[in-house]
Structure 1
Amino acid sequence: MKKLIPFLLLLIISSCNKNNTKIDRTEYDKAYGFLKNSQKDSAFKYFNKAKDDFISQENFSYAGSCLVNMAIIQNDYGDYYGSQETGLSAIKYLNEKEDSYELSSNYNSLGITFQNLKEYNKATQYYSLAAKFSQNATDSLTHLNNKAVAFSYSKKFDSAISLFNKILNYPNLKKQPILYSKVYDNQAYFKFLQDKNYNAENELLGALKIRDSINDNWGLIASYSHLTEYFESKNPQKALSYANNMLHFALINKSPDDRLNALKKIIFLENPQNTKTYFKKYQALADSLQTSRNKSKNQFAFERYDSEKLKRENLEKDNNILKLLVGVATLIVVIIFTVVGYRRRQLKLKQEKELEVKNTQLKMSKKVHDVVANGIYQVMTKIENQEDFNRDMALDELEFVYEKSRDISYDKTGEQKEFSKIISELIASFNNNTVKTFTAGNSPAIWESVSPTVKEEIYQLVRELMVNMKKHSQASHVAVKFEKANNIVDIQYKDNGVGISGDLIYNNGLRNAASRIEAINGTITFDTKIEKGLKVNLSFPVS
């Protein structure tokens, strides 16, 4: 095990401590103050505000720095996908020559994110970039140590040990005892993982002695963790003693993840009559940590959404009132003539068609619209918005649409994976350079006890809303929030598009949405009275 939190905190504080008196960094300094006081939720909020200010001032270096810090905070809270998105968005604001320190910090954070997601090959790539942009040997060697750890977790032990040796051979490395003991301990530990017969005791104890002599509490947690695993089968009583030492320093460092890890080791090693107490502590801590992280993930998502919405509104208020009125009036006239002309043409075409359509034809038309049209539109959206969307994936998506269309006559339905992931991927597929999508509360627990038939209706309903947004709303931000209480599932859709003016006009998609929610005994409400955009509230009972 290897602790990265102290290094991340150092990167955050160092990156925050810029000195430029020519720009307005009020919000930035507030964020830095909250960070020094370990109030990371508030720090994230003000870094986000500062980022918007810097972009409006065209000070992109500081904007990128804010995003780097936000990504690291998200990483600390376990919001790995959010951290990944934020960190990648920071790169476009940073200059390779002028912002090498921020780039190094950002690439290291991305490496940690991918490592936590068990994508070790990507982690090693980002650690290499972090080392490339490092401004001093210590940082570079630290990033290479992280790379070696990622090699080890992907079972590339030979590459890892070779890299550890390269670092240990660096001149005067022993004069940096924190880094030296870290690399020395990691090398011994992963040699043991590669070969359980390897005698790593003296090396592991040597690293422990160095860390103890310099009061490196984070390093001591790692040493005691490695020693616990080493003696687990050789001397369980000694391993239990080391696990308790690990728990002690995890409490001192206020590290809940290390406390969980230590408690897990103690439960495994302790006498059966004593494990119940430790298991209760483990369960309570795990539940508390999960609740806290879920809350932070939702907060980060809506903080970004609300900030983008507020920035857009403030920019609009700065426009000239007369130009705004003229523009709106012109737009209204154009819309009226367009709608009137379109409806006349549609009416004429409709009168030329057959007056009656058989019920079976209506049902088939509805299914083709839902399954084929929307399915193909979703694939087109992915191909349009994702640069790395490869050919094989596109063929798989099209094959899925083909299978669904072929099964229409048999009324086949089915779930291929966790429904919460299906819904999240559906919403995320509409995310691009002009439209940002946000999802909150979509946990697997929401969909427990929901029947496959109802899930199918909800999937088609959400896709109908997103497709209508893409085609008609001109929105730049879309948020979908899921909640479940008292056996009622509530879904809140919000966008900042043009909304629906006047009486609600049901097009094919909205009429399908209404009929779908009625079919599952649910309700749908369209809020057209908000200042801007569209808000749709859906709810349905869970049996």
Structure 2
Amino acid sequence: MKFKFGLSFIFVLIYNCCLAGLSPENGIANSDYHYSATVEKPTDSIEQLKKQIKGFAKKKDYQNAIVHSKKLLLKAKVLSDSSHITNAYWRLGYYYKILDQLDSSYFYIDKAYSINLKLKDSIGAGDRLLDMANIQKSLGDYNGGMITATEGLKYLEGSNEIESISGLYQNIAVCQKELGHPKEALRWSDKIFSLLNKHPTADISTENLYNIKTTRANILAALKDYGTSLKILDSIAANTQASNPSQFARAICNKGHYMWLEIKNNPESESLQLDALRIRQELNTVPGLISSTIHLAEYYFETNKPLALDYAQKALANSKKTNNSVAILEALDLLLPLKKSLGQDVSEEAIFYSNVQNTLEKTKQAVRAIYAATKYDNDALEKKNLMLLAQVAIKEKQNILAISATIISLILIVFVVLYKNQQKKKEQLEMAYKTELRLSKKLHDELGNDIFYLMTQVQKEGQDIANPQKVIILEGLDSIYQRIRDISKEFTAIDTGDNFGKEFFSLLNSYSSTKTKLITKELPSNFWDNVSAEAKIEVYRVLQELLVNMKKHSNASLVAITCSKSSKQVVIKYVDNGVGFSLKGNYLGNGLKNVENRIKGIKGNIIFDSKPNEGVTATITFAI
């Protein structure tokens, strides 16, 4: 029992240690991890934590918002809830950015980005890359910001996330301008407006639209197109004077600055910049105050150095409040030469400048390292996925090839079977035709000649021809002889060449007599040109069979035969006014059954329509 109790105790101890170890990964933000003792056992639900975080954010209590976001992160990790883990990471990045702790902000947003990639959430990944690119831009890492923003476009371009895409374009435009490439910056700005024109109903916030227009004005000023730049700023000022004092102050501050760049010591420029500073002091917007005091320090730099120094010192003080290294260095770039020209000691500021510059450079390098590691992992994962996709594609290709080979084999088998059947039918037709010719010859040459010989013997001179019995025998022999000649005639060879039309027409006319009138129309000389020899033979025999049946059984006085032809088939219609027959039951005798088989042999069709005492209609169709 003691042993079991000891094991249980060790297990609980290890479990608690693991929970304590669930704090965010070691790295830049380690200094913030003192909270773990207070959040290692979160009891609040996910939704309760979110409500608490929103409440702190609303009060601008961002420190508590961060603490509760870390609780949310821990809770989500315990539950293995990826969507809430990435949401917690994003919240931490967002609140750290508000506090200008950009390295910590970047660290957490990068974590959110990594999970978005694992979840294959391309929209989320693109949005997080936009956040990361903006942080790099804020740190003055313009090349890094452009690289990150361009990576974000891979996930978002072509989607309906117009605001995020325009944000990435905007980031690249600003970075290009700051790197001294205003023409390239203007090209990216043009892409934003082209995108917005294509999607006029896109949900873009008013604040973002003002930022996009202000950036364009800044780029045009860098290109020394002050006229167009000032028009844009005037438009923004007119639209925001009553409704958005922060944007209004920004517009008139930039306008005053660009008027000064165009014409030095412009009195209107001074007035506009002082008005902007007054509004920003009333609003107490520290970033705005930094911008105004730096512009005023530049304005008075040559004409009133003590006043310029005063504004530079104010810019430095405000920059220190936000711990904005880029702004601090920009203020010091003005403050150091001003103090030096006024004969003041600059050693303290020079040391501070060096320290800030080093810190900023280290932060840039750290941020780049974070993204480089994530990008390496992402590239490795993407490479692995591509290899898996390639393997799947190879298997799919192999399956397709196997299926294709099977289908082709089946088609070949079907083709061979059909071809063999067709050849067999063709051979059968040829055999039947040869048999008919052989029988015809045998009937004519042997049986016919033998009967004729008997007739001559009966008629020999000196015999009693007048004997009634001999007369009957002679008449019978003559009748048999004539029938044999008719049969022989029916099965003589048929010319399927150029003379077939004449032979066919002769066949039809040969069945016309005083008792039966046959009506037909002479066909064009090229009527049978595209018809195969087999089809010609079978059509000839079928009509011959129909006419023989008519002569033997129908007592028809009138027969009509018509032939027509299209590009795909031949239609032959036979009509007589004979006794007809009933279509009920087994109405096809041997003769008509033979007719039907012949037509099927050439892939044709024959339809009979008849009633007793109403004649017969037969419609023959076959493909050319």
* TM-score, normalised via structure 1 length: 0.50
Q: Secondary structure, in 3 states, of the residue corresponding to 1:158?
A: helix
Indicate if the aligned counterparts of 1:167 and 1:183 stay in contact, CA closer than 8 A.
Answer: yes
Q: Does 1:192 align with 2:268?
A: no
1:68, 1:119 → 2: CA distance?
21
* CA offset digits 1:199-234 (Å, max 9, x no partner): 122211111111111111111101101111111122
* Residue 31 of structure 1, aligned match among 81, 86, 89: 89
In structure 1, the residue matched to 2:282 is: 213
Amino acid at match of 2:361: Q
Q: Secondary structure at the residue paired with 1:197? A: coil
Structure of higher RCO (CA pairs closer than 8 Å, 6+ residues apart)? 1
Of the candidates 213, 223, 235, which is equivalent to residue 304 of structure 2? 235
Residue 137 of structure 1 pairs with residue 206 of structure 2: yes
In structure 1, the partner of 2:118 is 53
- 1:161 aligns to what SS in structure 2? helix
Offset at residue 124 of structure 1 (A): 2.6
Which SS does the other structure have where 2:280 is aligned?
Answer: helix
Secondary structure in 2 aligned to 1:175?
coil
- The question of 1:283 aligning with 2:283 is answered no
Q: How does 1:13-162 map to 2 (within 5 A)?
A: 25-38=83-96, 39-55=104-120, 59-94=121-156, 98-130=160-192, 132=196, 135-162=204-231
Q: CA deviation at 1:103?
A: 1.5
Secondary structure at the counterpart of residue 29 of structure 1: helix
The CA distance in 2 between the partners of 1:74 and 1:316, in whole Å, is 32
Could you tell me how far 1:237 is from its partner in structure 2?
0.8
1:176 to 244, 258, 280: 244
- Is the contact between residue 312 and residue 331 of structure 2 (CA under 8 Å) also seen in structure 1? yes
Show the 5 A alignment for 1:179-328: 179-199=247-267, 200-270=269-339, 271-310=342-381, 312=383
Secondary structure of the equivalent of 2:284? coil
Deviations 1:27-84 (A, max 9, x none): 52133133134222322431331231242xxx43223223322322333344333332
CA distance in 2, matches of 1:141, 1:273: 41
1:257, distance to aligned residue in structure 2 (A): 0.9
Larger radius of gyration: 2
After TM superposition, the runs of 4+ consecutive aligned structure 1 residues lying more than 6 A away are: 314-320
Q: Deviations over 1:162-188 (max 9, x none)?
A: 221232233x54320000000011001
Q: Is the 8 A contact 1:54 1:63 kept in 2?
A: no
AA at the equivalent of 1:36: Y
Pair 1:253–1:28, CA change in 2 (3 A): same
CA deviation digits over 1:115-153, x for unaligned, max 9?
222211222333344453661333212211111011112
Q: List per-residue Cα deviations over 1:460-493 (Å, max 9, x = no partner).
A: xxxxxxxxxxxxxxxxxxxxxxxxxxxxxxxxxx
1:228 to 1:82, Cα distance in 2 relative to 1, 3 A: closer
The residue type paired with residue 354 of structure 2 is: Q
Q: Give the match for residue 450 of structure 2.
A: none
Q: Deviations over 1:279-313 (max 9, x none)?
A: 12112211221232123223322321123324655
Instruction: Name the aligned partner's letter for residue 302 of structure 1.
Output: A
CA distance in 1 between counterparts of 2:180 and 2:326 reads 17
Residues 92 and 288 from structure 1, CA distance in 2 versus in 1: closer, same or farther, beyond 3 angstroms?
A: closer
Deviations 1:368-402 (A, max 9, x none): xxxxxxxxxxxxxxxxxxxxxxxxxxxxxxxxxxx
Instruction: Say if 1:78 and 1:209 are closer, same or farther in 2 by CA, change over 3 A.
Output: closer
CA contact (8 A) 1:232 1:239 kept: yes
Q: Secondary structure at the match of 2:264?
A: coil
Q: Which amino acid aligns with 1:241?
A: D
Give the Cα–Cα distance (whole angstroms) in 2 for the partners of residues 218 and 186 of structure 1.
Answer: 14
Unaligned runs of 5+ in 2: 1-64, 66-80, 97-103, 197-201, 399-624
Report SS of the residue matched to 2:209: helix
C-alpha separation in 2, matches of 1:262 and 1:73: 20
> Is the CA contact 2:237–2:247 (under 8 Å) kept in the aligned structure 1?
no
CA deviation after TM superposition for structure 1 residue 113, in Å: 1.8
CA offsets per residue over residues 427-458 of structure 1, 9 Å max, x none? xxxxxxxxxxxxxxxxxxxxxxxxxxxxxxxx
Aligned AA for 2:207? Answer: T
**Distance in 1 (alpha carbons) for counterparts of 2:134 and 2:315:** 25
Equivalenced residues, count: 299
Written as runs of structure 1 = structure 2, the 5 A alignment for 1:462-473 is none
Shift in CA distance, 195/134, structure 1 to aligned 2, threshold 3 Å? farther
Conserved? CA contact 1:44–1:73, under 8 Å: no
1:246-301: per-residue Cα shift (whole Å, max 9, x none)? 11111112111111111121111113341222112112211221232123223322
Does structure 2 retain, via aligned residues, the 8 Å contact 1:181–1:210? yes
Distance 2:161 2:155 in 1: 9
SS in 1 for 2:115: helix
CA distance in 2, matches of 1:284, 1:48: 31
- Deviation, 1:26, is 3.9
Q: Distance in 2 between matches of 1:93 and 1:295?
A: 24
Per-residue deviation, 1:245: 0.7
Amino acid of the structure 1 residue aligned with 2:179: L
| Shift in Å, 1:158 | 2.0
Distance verdict in 2 for CA 1:302–1:153, change over 3 Å: same
Which amino acid in 1 is paired with 2:255?
Q
1: distance between equivalents of 2:84 and 2:185? 35
**How large is the Cα RMSD of the aligned pairs?**
3.1
- After superposition, residues 527-538 of structure 1 pair within 5 angstroms as none
The residue aligned with 1:407 is none
Letter in 2 for 1:142: N
Contact 1:51 1:64 in 2 (8 A): no
Q: CA separation of 1:266/1:96 partners in 2, compared to 1, >3 Å: closer, same or farther?
A: same
- Paired with 1:28 and 1:290, the residues of 2 have a C-alpha distance of 28
Equivalent residue of 2:188, what SS?
A: helix
Counterpart for residue 518 of structure 1: none
Instruction: Tell me which moved more, 37-46 or 279-288.
Output: 37-46
State the secondary structure of the residue aligned to 2:242: helix
In the superposition, relative to structure 1, how do residues 150 and 278 fare at CA in structure 2: closer, same or farther (>3 Å)? same
Q: In structure 1, what residue type is equivalent to 2:285?
A: D
Query: 1:124 touches 1:150 (CA, 8 Å); kept in 2?
Result: yes
Q: For 2:303 and 2:143, how far apart are their aligned partners in 1?
A: 39
Identity percentage over the alignment? 20
Quote the Cα distance in structure 1 between the aligned partners of 2:157 and 2:363: 35
TM-score scaled to structure 2, two decimals? Answer: 0.44
